[in-house]
Structure 1
Amino acid sequence: MKCTSRKYIISGAVAAVLLAGCSTLHTTILPRENGVYQITATASTPREATDGAIEKATKTCESQGKRLVVLNNEDQSKPELERNAKSVANKVLTATGYKMFFSFDTDSDGKMSMLFKCE
């Protein structure tokens, strides 16, 4: 009986580690003057970077008992044509078996920079 429950615990821990590795989102928050923060988020898609930046900024403000006020944002993602070309190239490399040797990095194709305050 103990052995079975250990298997579930170990399986759950392994699944959590694997799922955590699936996200390509990386965020950095820097405090600026007058209560302003700058957040930069990178991810595999512009949408994931934008959503991640907003979520992280919201959590920062909520931890202070305040609400998020976005001052400005700038989408610094790579052009859609470049993102699509990398995606197609990676599919071709996968189909031909060469992806194990070479692939195009798409983990930081989406990039968002945003200034915000907590009020």
Structure 2
Amino acid sequence: MVFLWGYNLLAHFISAYLVDDSFHQALAIWSHTKGLMGITVSMLTYPFLLVDDFLAVNNCGLQAGLPCYSLVFKSWIHCWKYLSMQGQLFQGSSLLLRWVSSGSCFVLE
């Protein structure tokens, strides 16, 4: 929902104020702008998607969602605050670079 709202708001702003229909390359500019808008809005809404993914496996019975491997979150706000304090709200969002925070530990069996 947040992605669609942001995308449509940005599209309306660009079409109403920045791109004039009388400009002869307006269609080409608009087609490139749509792609950039999608990338920009997805970057801004990525923390919501990440919290949603965390809550999907939160105490669901899978081993990855159980308390010894993951915390049990009470609400999405609790999950957001935890990820924010850990500096992990954008974990996995980079296409090219991957890093592991110093506080992370993994259990391999």
The normalised TM-score by structure 2 is: 0.29
Structure number with the higher strand fraction is: 1
Structure number with the higher helix fraction is: 2
Structure of higher RCO (CA pairs closer than 8 Å, 6+ residues apart): 1
